[in-house]
Amino acid sequence: MTIPGAAIQDLENALEAGLPDPTAPLARFLLWNLRGDREKALSALDPKTRQFAWKDPDFSMLMPGMFAYMNETDQALEWLQHALDRGIINYPLFSSISAESRSGRIVSFV
């Protein structure tokens, strides 16, 4: 099984087991993102869920990569800047967006 395939299965199992809010909407965002359904993924991120993810250190690190995965460059860069502001540095995860001028400034910060 591929890594996205295994992640999809794990997310489906977790959702079936009954994740609490606000973890469940974030799991749906990740699941639909990995399945390639951009619209469903974005619809899972209501303002309350985004606020939770913004404040959570694990999701602050995860969200830039997930937005980059779905080619949402502006969102990826916004979340990446937020992660860097929080002291989270994981440059290899974001190498796909490093050619952008804005991300070039961020990468030079790293």
Q: What is the pLDDT of residues 13-40, one digit of tens each?
A: 888 888 777 788 998 999 999 898 999 9
**What is the residue extent of each domain of the chain?**
1-49, 56-110
Region 58-65: what's the mean pLDDT?
87
Long-range Cβ contacts of 64-72 (<8 Å, 24+ apart): 64/93, 64/94, 65/90, 65/93, 65/94, 66/29, 66/30, 66/33, 68/93, 68/94, 68/96, 68/97, 69/33, 69/34, 70/33, 70/38, 70/41, 72/38, 72/42
Is the pTM here over 0.75, yes or no? no
Q: How confident is the model at residue 41 (pLDDT cuts 50, 70, 90)?
A: very high
Q: How confident is the model at residue 1 (pLDDT cuts 50, 70, 90)?
A: very low
Q: Rg for the chain (alpha carbons), in Å? A: 14
